[in-house]
Chains A and B, each alone.
Chain A
Amino acid sequence: MSEPGAPEDFASGAQPWDDLARSARPAENDDERQEDLRQLLTFEIDSTPYAVPVERVREIVRIRPITPVPRVPKDVRGVISLRGEIVEVIDLRMRLALPPTDPVRSTRIIVVHTENGKVAGILVDAVREVSRVSENSIRPSANSETGSVEALCVRGDEFVSLMDLDRVLEIHAGH
């Protein structure tokens, strides 16, 4: 059971979510630069960096027992209980057409806001950081196989894939 209201830290020795978000916030007198900056939460799947917009993230929790749900696509791992809320967890590996793996120490569930005002969980291999990137460094992604990646973002010497969360969460029930 987690402490109600307090998001858990998500990597050993890492700062809690709040602190991370705070550190990523631009300084107060930075107003004109804020407009072309985006805050992204980066995480890893199969050692590859991916990101989602920070404003879509509600909290990050450690892996916990997931109850499988029958009659749903395999991408939905099941449901978890979040302080009494029952939330579906989507396996992002399977969503990206990667083979599933067993959870490891760094496995996290990112709880994101859905379009309809609810929340959903996304299972990822590890959470990295919250970073500010300028709009200039974001390039629309032309050829995404699964349609889950909407843009690429250059960070130092690597590309971070910016996820299209609404596409990721577009799963239809069926047998």
Chain B
Amino acid sequence: MRNDLADLTDQSGGSGDVDPELLNGIFRSAHSLKALAGLFGFEPIQELAHRLEDILDGLRLGRVALGTAALTLIDEAVNVFGTLLERVGDAEAIADAGEQIADLSNRIEVASHESPPEPGEFDALDLDSSLLRALTEYEEHRLRENIERGRHIVIVESTFEIISFEEGLSELSTAIREIGEVLSTLPAPGETPESQIRFSLLAATELSLNELSSRLNFPSSSVRSVYRADAASGVAAGVTPPAGVVDEIAHEVVSPPIVAHETVPENENLQSLKSISDTVRVDIRKLDELMNLVGELVIQRGALGDIVSRLMSDTKTARIGSDLSKVYKAFDRKLKGLQSSVLDVRMVPLRQVFEKVSRVLRGLRRELDKNVRLEIRGADTELDKLIVEELVDPLMHTVRNALDHAIEAPEERLAAGKDPEGRIKIEAFQRGNHVVIAVSDDGRGIDTDRLRAKAESRGLVGHDEVLTRQEMLDLVFLPGASTRDVVTETSGRGVGMDVVRSNVTALGGVVEVASDWGRGTTISMTLPITLAIIQSLIVRVAEQRFAIPLNSVLETLLVEETEIQRSEGREMLNLRGDALVLRRLAAEFCLDIAEDDGRRFVVVLGMGDLRVGLLVDSLEGQQDTVIKPIQGPIQVVDGIAGATELGDGDPVLVLDVASFFDDSSRGGREAA
């Protein structure tokens, strides 16, 4: 709703011509809010929602002009809602807000009765008066608006099969919306077989009748014109495609108006109530439980697969084996479907987080007196609920940084030849199995020299160290590297980007920075879509299995013990000219070393620029794994990220890849 409001503000700022759908959306939100407040007995909220609905209704019907006054009132009301909802349990806060609400309600009431509705004059229309009477006040208003804009008013009639009419009708409405506006949908009781139903759609469009007919290529539909801006007479101009149904409608539409008049607004109510009951709030732990069950099914499937291949390999049982194999394959497909549906349920759009951020930003903008426009793209991009929760803080930090540090004061921007209004853009999109969230600004950019000086003064970088531009930019992620000397409320205490980086890394993501001096900065975070199921490489060391998250595995190699070289007490491998530091998993974990046949597998792990090779006895293939935390007194074991269950139901430990890197992992040619 807040987003819609922001859109509304933008639109009205331009021309005063507002998308009616948008207004309707806000109206419905306010309505749902009222219903909800009523449901829970929050009278002050209900009262306010009611008033808000009044003013929105006034806007919809054109009774109230959409101006700054109205917008301010709405914005204020929504803010009061926000505070109230956050403190719903706090009786005192609600009582405090009561006065504020009463005041606001009064002002809204005055505003919503600013101008009385004027009686409509639709004589110029080739419309039956009974049809006109069937229009609701709002529909009349839209009709009037469209006539004033000089649009072409038409009636589209179509016949649908009763069993599928909802689908057909919505297809038709969508098609019309692409080229105009649907003003009203009324049932048309023409002579139709019992299994069919006719509708007339009153619509407005810029197109001519011929263009319209060709664009609306729907079977058994007809279009006729009822008003044309250029036809001064206002009499029907245009063709009447297939049958001569036009007159029939005009006459037979006489009886249904009353019905239609009642059903239309009711539908609207139903829709808004439905949007409440269509969604279910579920505890995320219940979803985890569901995920566990699916995980167990996946394990059972593995066992089933083993039986199938045993049966198939024996000639005596091959036939029954192949029968079972068919069943197994069908089961496998359904299970994959189930798995992805369950994962899908955990997915939530980023919208909520973005809304939270933009709310805070709007507050800060006022506080810091900076002129900034926030653009949001890709709010519908979905991520695992758990990741979204953890994302709020880093995102907030990043946006605050952009506002506080990057965006210059208006005078400074003007002097630099920039638009005095700054821009901050938050953009989200999917890339493969990851989601990228980028925060860009058109501010002053990162001063790498100053950043370096700061880092040097704190001993984070040596004076004579040669750094590439990117390496200098990356200094921004070091603790205590803030380039701003002034400490503000918002940020600038030298914590921030390092926190952002550790938060994102904890989610298995990467954060990167790009910046052009004087032109702006982009911080992008790449995150996995879900933490719930990941692909792992299963390895065996000293008769024990371990799982290694596949996204950190660069490659695997088979090496002879003789190929392994030693330097400064470390074992290394010459990997295409680079020195790869090796670590023996058996030694790391103090496991009994297996029989030595002189051959080993090396799993090359990579994270950013870091590389390390893990020596293991054998590779056992890839598997979908669900990483679980370990419960018990220890919980955190160095080198272990958690555990997972494999096909046979035994727990297998999952390696914490990050713990295997150290200073030696930067490697490089000089050591080789």
Chain A residues in contact with chain B, CB under 8 A? 1, 4, 65, 67-72, 76, 79-81, 83-90, 114, 118-121, 169-173
Tell me the complex Cα distance, A7–B59, Å: 62
Are the C-beta atoms of A86 and B591 separated by less than 8 Å? no
Verify if B292 is at the interface (C-beta below 8 Å from A): yes
Are the C-beta atoms of A119 and B652 separated by less than 8 Å? no
Tell me the complex Cα distance, A88–B589, Å: 17
Nearest CB of chain B from residue A175's CB, rounded to whole Å: 8
Give the residues in chain A near B645, CB-CB below 8 Å: 81, 84, 86
Verify if B632 is at the interface (C-beta below 8 Å from A): yes
9 extra interface residue pairs, beta carbon distance < 8 Å, beyond A1-B296, A72-B637, A85-B292: A76-B632, A84-B292, A84-B626, A86-B643, A86-B644, A87-B631, A87-B632, A88-B630, A170-B633
Give the residues in chain B near A83, CB-CB below 8 Å: 292, 296
Are the C-beta atoms of B630 and A71 separated by less than 8 Å? no
Q: Bits for B650-666, please: 1 = Cβ < 8 Å to A, else 0.
A: 11110000000000000
Of the candidates B633, B638, B643, B653, the one having the most CB atoms from chain A within 10 angstroms of its own CB is B633
Are the C-beta atoms of B544 and A173 separated by less than 8 Å? no
25 A–B contact pairs at CB < 8 A? Answer: A1-B649, A4-B293, A69-B637, A69-B640, A71-B590, A71-B637, A72-B637, A76-B632, A76-B633, A79-B630, A79-B643, A79-B653, A81-B645, A81-B649, A81-B651, A84-B295, A84-B645, A86-B631, A88-B630, A88-B632, A88-B633, A120-B631, A120-B633, A170-B633, A172-B634
Verify if B642 is at the interface (C-beta below 8 Å from A): yes
Residue in chain B with minimal CB distance to A4? B293
Are the C-beta atoms of B651 and A86 separated by less than 8 Å? yes
Verify if B418 is at the interface (C-beta below 8 Å from A): no
Are the C-beta atoms of A85 and B633 separated by less than 8 Å? no
Of the candidates B296, B639, B644, B651, the one having the most CB atoms from chain A within 10 angstroms of its own CB is B651
Residue in chain A with minimal CB distance to B650? A65
Q: Bits for B345-377, please: 1 = Cβ < 8 Å to A, else 0.
A: 000000000000000000000000000000000
Are the C-beta atoms of B640 and A84 separated by less than 8 Å? no
Cross-chain contact of A67 among B293, B628, B643 (Cβ < 8 A): B643
Tell me the complex Cα distance, A89–B651, Å: 12
Q: Which 6 A-B pairs have the closest CB atoms?
A: A88-B632, A70-B589, A84-B292, A120-B632, A86-B643, A118-B631
Residue in chain B with minimal CB distance to A68? B544
Are the C-beta atoms of A71 and B632 separated by less than 8 Å? no
Nearest CB of chain A from residue B283's CB, rounded to whole Å: 15
Are the C-beta atoms of B296 and A84 separated by less than 8 Å? yes
Nearest CB of chain A from residue B491's CB, rounded to whole Å: 34
Tell me the complex Cα distance, A4–B635, Å: 24
Give the residues in chain B near A76, CB-CB below 8 Å: 632-634
Give the residues in chain A near B636, CB-CB below 8 Å: 173
Nearest CB of chain A from residue B130's CB, rounded to whole Å: 63
Are the C-beta atoms of A70 and B591 separated by less than 8 Å? yes
Tell me the complex Cα distance, A106–B630, Å: 26
Give the residues in chain A near B651, CB-CB below 8 Å: 65, 67, 79-81, 86
Nearest CB of chain B from residue A2's CB, rounded to whole Å: 10
Give the residues in chain A near B462, CB-CB below 8 Å: none
Tell me the complex Cα distance, A169–B634, Å: 9
Tell me the complex Cα distance, A138–B650, Å: 41
Verify if B13 is at the interface (C-beta below 8 Å from A): no
Q: A4-B293, A81-B651, A84-B645 given as contacts; is B634 within 8 A of A67 (CB)?
A: no
Are the C-beta atoms of B632 and A118 separated by less than 8 Å? yes
Give the residues in chain A near B626, CB-CB below 8 Å: 84
Cross-chain contact of A79 among B293, B296, B632, B638 (Cβ < 8 A): B632
Give the residues in chain B near A169, CB-CB below 8 Å: 632-633
Tell me the complex Cα distance, A154–B519, Å: 81
Are the C-beta atoms of A90 and B653 separated by less than 8 Å? no
Verify if B508 is at the interface (C-beta below 8 Å from A): no
Give the residues in chain B near A119, CB-CB below 8 Å: 631-632
Verify if B82 is at the interface (C-beta below 8 Å from A): no
Give the residues in chain B near A88, CB-CB below 8 Å: 630-635
Of the candidates A118, A170, A172, the one having the most CB atoms from chain B within 10 angstroms of its own CB is A118
Verify if B629 is at the interface (C-beta below 8 Å from A): yes
Give the residues in chain B near A121, CB-CB below 8 Å: 632
Q: A4-B293, A80-B651, A83-B292 given as contacts; is B628 within 8 A of A70 (CB)?
A: no
Nearest CB of chain A from residue B120's CB, rounded to whole Å: 65
Nearest CB of chain A from residue B374's CB, rounded to whole Å: 40
Give the residues in chain A near B293, CB-CB below 8 Å: 4, 84
Tell me the complex Cα distance, A55–B469, Å: 61
Are the C-beta atoms of B640 and A86 separated by less than 8 Å? no
Residue in chain A with minimal CB distance to B629? A86
Residue in chain A with minimal CB distance to B642? A86
Give the residues in chain B near A67, CB-CB below 8 Å: 544, 643, 650-653
Nearest CB of chain B from residue A130's CB, rounded to whole Å: 24
Q: A81-B651, A86-B643, A86-B651 given as contacts; is B633 within 8 A of A171 (CB)?
A: yes
Cross-chain contact of A81 among B590, B591, B639, B650 (Cβ < 8 A): B650
Residue in chain A with minimal CB distance to B628? A86
Tell me the complex Cα distance, A76–B637, Å: 12
Of the candidates B296, B544, B631, B643, the one having the most CB atoms from chain A within 10 angstroms of its own CB is B631
Are the C-beta atoms of B590 and A90 separated by less than 8 Å? no
Give the residues in chain B near A173, CB-CB below 8 Å: 634, 636-638
Give the residues in chain B near A71, CB-CB below 8 Å: 589-590, 637-640
Residue in chain B with minimal CB distance to A81? B651
Nearest CB of chain A from residue B258's CB, rounded to whole Å: 57
Tell me the complex Cα distance, A118–B630, Å: 10
